[in-house]
Amino acid sequence: MSSTLVSNMKYSDSLTVVGISICTAIVCEAISWLLIYRTSSYKSLKSTIDKASKKLETMKTTDPNTATTIKKSKTKKIDRVESSLKESSRDLSMFKFKSGGVVALVLFMVFGLLNSLFEGKAVAKIPFVPIKLVQKMSHRGLSGDDMTDCSMAFLYFLCSISIRTNLQKFLGFSPPRGAAGAGLFPMPDPKSN
Amino acid sequence: MRERKSVKFNLQKQEHQNGHLSPFKVAKLFDPDATWDKDQLGDVLHWIRQSLALVCGLLWGAIPLVGGIWFILFFLLSSGIIYAYYALVLKIDEEDFGGHGALLQEGLFASISLFLLTWILVYSLGHF
């Protein structure tokens, strides 16, 4: 009865996209764990970054009673810790980049599969008209002028960001906060893509 | 070899103390006198944002609420709740945690994506 209900829904294909995205996210994180997260190199780099960023925070806390001469030497120490942090972050990125190729291949193949299944088909309805920039993705490959029709690409994009970011967070695989590049909008760990 | 083992032990001990394995009391979430580690607070704010995104997406899609204004409303509502939580409930000094920007952006992008995903799915499946 439930399968009849689902198949009667006009946009039941959206559930297929979400289901495949969830499975892909799990597979990608499993591959990342195998190739990246369980290695001693990754663990030691992450620990180094955590320690350095915490040390940097402590050193940057200003003390009004500190003499000027002491502040100058402190500035030099801060610079040293900062460059060490940048170097460790760069090493971490390089390390993940080398191992992330397999995950990138899986994502590419899954996107290709979804594209072949749903090309030219609206898989969902957006409850508002997106801005022009977003329409390039949300209306990708769709015919007609109804900009509230949602393409597979846009739905897959939303699934990837939300599911993978939260899965990484839940499993503790998010990049350390002190790492360079953890900016305003932290994406799912890009080097795992 | 011995140094490596002691470093490894210290790393494991630090991981344990970082909160990944230590018990997390729910009461701490509403205690203005509690002390917060930057990572712990960041994680709490992240998950609060995701919960808000899920709830709002389900509600907006079920009613349904249609129009871009509701997206802006969600953004303002979730940011307002996060701000009220850390400033009024926890009463923390944002300067100790990187400022308002750092706290407000915790989990922001993921929550926007999750909200849009939930809103679109519930709207599409429930009303067509």
pTM equals 0.79
Q: Does A60 touch chain B (CB under 8 A)?
A: no
Rounded to the nearest integer, the mean pLDDT of chain A is 82
The whole-angstrom distance between A119's CA and the closest CA on chain B is 18
Find which of A166, A167, A173 to mutate to test the B interface (most B CBs within 10 Å of its CB): A166
Give the model's pLDDT for residue A53.
Answer: 79
Nearest to B119 among A57, A127, A169 (CB): A127
Give the model's pLDDT for residue A57.
Answer: 74
Q: Above 50 in pLDDT, residue B19? A: no
For residues A168 and A171, give the distance between their C-alpha atoms in angstroms, rounded to a whole number. Answer: 5
pLDDT tens digits for range A46-100: 888 888 877 877 777 655 555 555 567 778 888 888 888 888 888 888 878 877 8
Which of the 8 DSSP states describes residue A187?
P
Residues of chain A with pLDDT under 70: 1-8, 61-71, 176-193
Task: Yes or no: say if A16 and A95 are a contact pair by the CB < 8 Å rule.
Answer: no
> Which residues, including other chains, have CB under 8 Å from residue B44's CB and lie 6 or more apart?
B29
State whether ipTM is beyond 0.95.
Answer: no
Residue with tokens 């925070």: A57
Task: Yes or no: say if A173 and A190 are a contact pair by the CB < 8 Å rule.
Answer: no
Structure tokens at A158: 């939303």
**A189 contacts in B (CB within 8 Å)?**
none
Q: Above 80 in pLDDT, residue B99? A: yes
Cα nearest neighbour of A13 on chain B? B125
Task: Yes or no: say if A140 and A126 are a contact pair by the CB < 8 Å rule.
Answer: no
DSSP three-state, residue A125: strand
